[in-house]
A = this chain, B = another copy of it.
Amino acid sequence: MATTRASRSRRTDSLTRERIIAAAVELLDAQGESGLTFRVLTQRLATGAGAIYWHVANKEELLTAATESVLVAALAREVGGSPEEEIRAVALGLFEAIDDHPWLATQLSTELARNPRGTVAPRIFDAVGRRVRALGVPERGWFTASSALVHYVLGAAGQNVANAGAADPGIDRSAFLDSVSAEWEALDADDFPFASAVAGQMRDHDDREQFLAGVDLVLAGITTVHLSGE
């Protein structure tokens, strides 16, 4: 009758690939990329190093799997609407996933730039590209248009968490942003005329709004280049 109460750190479930990946995501969320270690993972899962290698080939595969699991969740919650609205929703979903998991930005970019054979890259391109196609963009423009959207989304979302200091958890976001902005402002105006001038904008804006303005800018480019003769 009282058998259901889980005892503190006793391992009741058996070790599975899914549990390992979930624990990896937890560590990454809590400590950042350097916090994911086989030793800590081993401790957290109350097992030995070899047990993990039974389910996962190596650390690279584990990182990719962790990235993929968070990505899939972020792309799952989709709504309807026009192609433009869907693209904004997908973009915002990725933006928020990166906001929740700051390690994700670097990881997704790295995956695109180093591991084009995995399923991470096609997943992102598919989520965006399907809607680009639905916009009516002719086939020859599919890849370029999708690339522009994907790379803007990942890059801007990544820089957003960077400017918020989210890479190291436990930092006051607006205070960090203030200090980054102050440093850009303090740059030599001769060597960095633009960076020092734009510093103020980094501070005084709404993150989401600015991010979505960029999405709309790229969408406007797609429309102008490919759909203007309508």
* Interface positions of A (Cβ within 8 A of B): 105-106, 109-110, 112-117, 119, 121-123, 125-126, 129-130, 132-133, 139-140, 142-148, 150-152, 154-156, 158-159, 161-163, 167, 179-180, 183-184, 187, 191-195, 197-198, 201-202, 205, 210, 213-214, 216-225
Task: Verify B154–A198 contact, CB threshold 8 A.
Answer: no
Task: Verify A130–B193 contact, CB threshold 8 A.
Answer: yes
Chain B's closest residue to A216 (CB) is B225
- With a cutoff of 8 Å between Cβ atoms, the chain B residues found around residue A121 in the complex are 159
The binding surface of chain A is classed by DSSP as helix
Between A and B, 20 residue pairs with Cβ closer than 8 Å are A106-B110, A109-B109, A112-B162, A115-B162, A117-B180, A117-B183, A122-B187, A126-B191, A126-B194, A129-B194, A143-B210, A144-B210, A145-B217, A146-B194, A151-B151, A151-B152, A154-B155, A217-B218, A217-B225, A221-B224
